[in-house]
Chain A
Amino acid sequence: MFKYLKQLTSLVAMVAVLFTFTTETMAAKKSKTLKNTQKKGFVRCGVSQGLPGFSNADAAGNWTGIDVDVCRAVAAAVLGDANKVKFTPLSAKERFTALTSGEIDILSRNTTWTLSRDADIGLTFVGVNFYDGQGFMVRKSSGITSTSQFKDGISACTNIGTTTELNMRDFFNSKGISYEPVAFEKADEVVAAYDAGRCDTYTTDKSGLAAQRTKMSNPDDHIVLPETVSKEPLGPVVRQGDSVWEDIVRWSLNAMIEAEEYGITSANADSMKTSDNPAVKRLVGAEGELGAAFGLDNEWSLRIIKQVGNYGESYKRNIADTGILPDRGPNELWTKGGILYVPPAR
């Protein structure tokens, strides 16, 4: 029996070596996450439990939103099909544990990039797909039009486990106003409690306020106050320690933004292959070897643009056309007065 065992082992080893050489590039060998993703055939993506415009599932279970599109872009780049994504809805409390424990490979869940999160808990933020800031919502009938009209004893509904809770304290302390924080685990309960009148104000990221307002029993009864009390750059997160995977996610997002900058859309991407601009040709895979650096073929970015669209298309489809935030504000390209600026893909 032992005789055969030895032969069997060497055979297995040979097959394994052969398999490695034929199917894997150097980068893929270095990236455990990329290898696992290609083996499984889908990208494991953590999203919110339902935030219109960012990540929201319809009645048939189809996910849409700009956070969802980041994961779809990665799937298009890595697997060739933007639909090969498995979405895991996560509460604010669960999200980082799900990522660090390896349950998901990308966390694209309107997550604020902060120093302590980036440095402390085994996470790496790869970029910003939405520049946001914390705001306050109040009932129109209250007559409040500015946070300067807040008075001592105001009760504020919010979520636990978010930067919102900390910003809220900073804000009220700096104004010297005493307040009653009412913090729920899930966003739906926050909305229900505020809607019922439990709280005088509802505070979270302004995009979130705009999105949740559409869920109120009567959206027109509520207004979002003009003040922004914090910086909330939201973006996708990956596990620390897999730099190839980190690069793939970062550049999938960057490719979408750069495609908008060069006017490449899902409709005209194929025809752009004959463009005169080398930067455009690189982005649609007609020039250079950009994909090889992270173990992908040369058309990775073309697939993203064709299947998901550029950043502007994604924004329009998910956030502008749904009436959440028609005005792009800071999330406009740097060439058009916004602050969206990504390093060049070359």
Chain B
Amino acid sequence: MNFKLQKIVPQLITVLAVVLVFGFFSYNAQVNMENRGIDFGYGFLSQESSFDVQFSLIEYDGSHSYFRAYLVGLLNTILVSVIGIIIATILGIIVGVARLSPNYLINKFAAFYVEFFRNIPLLLQIFFWYFAALRALPLPQDADAMFGVFFLTIKGLYVPAFVWENFNVFFYSIVAAIIAIVVIRIHARKVQETQGKQLPVLWISLGLIFILPLLSFLIGGVSLSFEIPKLKQLAATSYKYEGGLNLPPELIALTLSLALYTATFIAECVRAGIQGVGKGQKEAAASIGLNPNQVLKLVVMPQALRIIIPPTTNQYLNLTKNSSLAAAIAYPDLVLVFAGTALMQTGKAIEIVSITMLTYLSLSISISILMNWYNKKIAIKEK
């Protein structure tokens, strides 16, 4: 009895302390807000925002609501995070493998890259890529076309836009190709498990993903044309491109700096993962007649991934959270649009900051859940 009490009392006290602290803060905030005549409430979300945003994935202008502005910021944050994560992962794997290369030059170059980029504060790197790039890039009228259709200028990267006809047919063909590939992979595994034969799954997959969409063009009535950016004069010395798609320099600078920075950490995770697989594993795999490719694919990587995934998840979370530095260079992410402009125009500091915090929390937890699921999938299944 006494022993039980000893275990429960400290826990009760802890819970009570936490409740009291939170209670005190919310009470304090309430009293102070009342004293200063500040209303609390989320009603402002449906009001007209009356400010415009530079870059948006959904239709938005100042006549939409603050909630719509929130969505614009959220989608922009997700966009830069997803692109950043993809580039950082690819770059991280390449550099991580390069650090283990027996080639002296490749090895040292990768090491230099990692040490250089991970030891400079991210905000400085963002400023560097933004302002250095801005100064170095040509004005729209001086830009040379790359491959005749791309224009990299101080006002952003202008690329041709796709103009689709019957886009849905094309989309379904891709979905069909993916389903077919999944079915074939399952079948191939069965064949290998029962008959020991290996089917050329990779080639079949590549063929499917290429041929089905091609068929949609040939017989599905899909057609694709390009809208190429054209130079437009605004004033004697100021120009811009019209038509096509514009990737603003803010997006490019932010993605680039986030990816380059995070890739260094992912590279170290990859290196640690590969080095963490015992030498004996490789030798054993080679001794039963697997070729080097198969050794990497079937023996080393499955074991290395178990070491690589958990710390890499952390890096994905870091990249997502670091994207909030966007506010410094005018990329309209969640912090700039919602916790910046919207907060200032409404004065609803507590409401907006709490929504923003909850949003980042949800984003991070979603990434965690996804990565944990993947981690569990590749973990050793003890029988």
Helix, strand, loop or mixed for chain B's interface?
Answer: mixed
From A122, A151, A154, B38 is in contact (CB under 8 Å) with A122
Shortest Cβ distance from B339 into A: residue: A93
In the A-B complex, the 7 residue pairs with the smallest Cβ-Cβ separation, listed nearest first, are A161-B344, A121-B347, A122-B36, A143-B236, A142-B235, A196-B134, A141-B237
B336: CB under 8 A from chain A? Answer: yes
Q: Please, how many angstroms separate the alpha-carbon atoms of A185 and B126 in the complex?
A: 14
CB–CB B340/A180 < 8 A? no
From B38, B54, B327, B345, A185 is in contact (CB under 8 Å) with B327
A100: CB under 8 A from chain B? Answer: yes
From A96, A144, A160, A179, B336 is in contact (CB under 8 Å) with A160
Stretch at the interface among A162-170, A207-215, A282-290, A338-346: A162-170
Interface residues on B, range: 35 or more
Known: A192-B131, A198-B249. A153 touches B232 (CB 8 A): yes
1/0 contact trace for B30-43 toward A, CB 8 Å?
00110111110000
A183 cross-chain contacts in B, Cβ below 8 A: 54, 330, 332, 336, 341
Stretch at the interface among B45-53, B77-85, B280-288, B290-298: B45-53
From B38, B53, B240, A153 is in contact (CB under 8 Å) with B240
Identify 10 residue pairs between A and B in the complex whose beta-carbon atoms are under 8 Å apart, listed by A's number: A101-B32, A121-B347, A122-B37, A139-B237, A183-B332, A183-B336, A184-B328, A196-B134, A241-B36, A241-B37
A150 cross-chain contacts in B, Cβ below 8 A: 234
Q: Please, how many angstroms separate the alpha-carbon atoms of A241 and B35 in the complex?
A: 7
A155: CB under 8 A from chain B? Answer: yes
Q: Please, how many angstroms separate the alpha-carbon atoms of A240 and B240 in the complex?
A: 47
Q: Please, how many angstroms separate the alpha-carbon atoms of A165 and B49 in the complex?
A: 11
B32 cross-chain contacts in A, Cβ below 8 A: 101
Shortest Cβ distance from A170 into B: residue: B50
CB–CB B344/A92 < 8 A? yes
Known: A160-B340, A166-B345, A196-B154. A189 touches B38 (CB 8 A): no
Interface residues on A, range: 35 or more
CB–CB B328/A189 < 8 A? yes
A72: CB under 8 A from chain B? Answer: no
From B62, B234, B329, B340, A93 is in contact (CB under 8 Å) with B340
1/0 contact trace for B150-172 toward A, CB 8 Å?
00001100000000000000000
Known: A122-B36, A155-B240. A196 touches B131 (CB 8 A): yes
B175: CB under 8 A from chain A? Answer: no
CB–CB A120/B347 < 8 A? yes
CB–CB A161/B38 < 8 A? no
CB–CB A200/B135 < 8 A? no
CB–CB B154/A180 < 8 A? no
From B36, B52, B240, A100 is in contact (CB under 8 Å) with B36
Q: Please, how many angstroms separate the alpha-carbon atoms of A292 and B250 in the complex?
A: 56
